[in-house]
Amino acid sequence: MELTEALQGFVPDVLVTLGSGLGALADEVADPLVVPFADVGLPTSTVPGHQGRFVAGTLAGVPVLVQQGRVHLYEGFSGREVATFVRAAAAVGARAFVVTNAAGGITADLSPGDLMVLTDHLNLTATSPLEGPDFVDLTGAYDPELVRAAHAAAEQAGERLAQGVYAGLRGPAYETPAEIAMLRVLGADAVGMSTVHEVVQARALGLRVAGFSLITNVHRPGGTPTHHGEVMDVGATAGPRLAEVLRHLLPALAG
């Protein structure tokens, strides 16, 4: 079955991709239509916290296609496969993309539970979702106008919103202290194992992009132990705060 057929005529304005621990936002979609990835020929993640389905409906009055779960390079998928969901959403009408992730903080003033809007990224995976001479200008990949709208949305929600550069690595191992020191030198504020391929694909298709990291742990000088359970726990407690920011932001992406 094609996604168009599964959506039964529904046309989303915005694709919203939910990262680890953030899946509960899909429960707030009004008049939901649930489409498992497997039903429309899309790959399904093996990672806890990634349910593997689209939820179509309205959120904050905006027609959305919520991607509840994603796939990753470290699961054995290619960069092009990781970005399959973005291509599918664009094909059914989505014109904007809100991407979220759980990330490790690098900047000294970040703390677990902080929310960060992305202003740029470092693709350090040595792979791309694009094939052939698909030369895409990534200047302003994270729409500056939407960054400003995100800050306004956070103010409405009563939330502090940091901003910075996200470094995308392949994983699945968490970073060594030396790798974190390298990322600081390169200008990264947070690090994770997703997002960069999806954003590149979205820009290649002309979608406007707003990106957010939920900081689940912070790497301090000398090394800080990290585990997936911590990522999920912080995501569960701070995720509703990011959800509130997105509720205020979505109307800026509609139409």
Catalytic member of 101, 123, 128, 194: 194
Strands 30-36 and 161-168: unpaired
Does residue 217 have an active-site annotation?
Answer: yes
User: Token digits for 202?
Assistant: 């979205």
The single residue of 26, 217, 238, 244 carrying the catalytic annotation is 217
| Active-site position among 228, 230, 232, 236 | 228
Which of 56, 72, 128, 204 is the catalytic position?
A: 72
Could you confirm whether 213 is annotated as catalytic? no
Q: Which of 150, 193, 202, 204 is catalytic?
A: 193
| Spatial contact of 23 and 69, defined as CB atoms under 8 Å apart | yes
Calpha distance 58→31 (Å, rounded): 7
Active site residue 182: no
Q: Annotated catalytic, 81?
A: no
CA distances from 141 to 16, 215, 224 (A): 16, 21, 31
List the catalytic residue out of 26, 56, 75, 213.
75
Q: Catalytic residue at 45?
A: no
**72 included as an active-site residue:** yes
Q: How many CB atoms lie within 10 A of CB 147?
A: 17
User: Which of 74, 151, 182, 232 is an active site residue?
Assistant: 74
Residues 178, 157: Cα–Cα separation, whole Å: 37
Q: Where does residue 37 fall: left (phi above 0), alpha (psi -120 to 50 degrees), or beta otherwise?
A: alpha
Active-site residue, from 26, 102, 103, 153: 102
Residues annotated as catalytic are: 20, 50, 72, 74-75, 102, 193-194, 217, 228
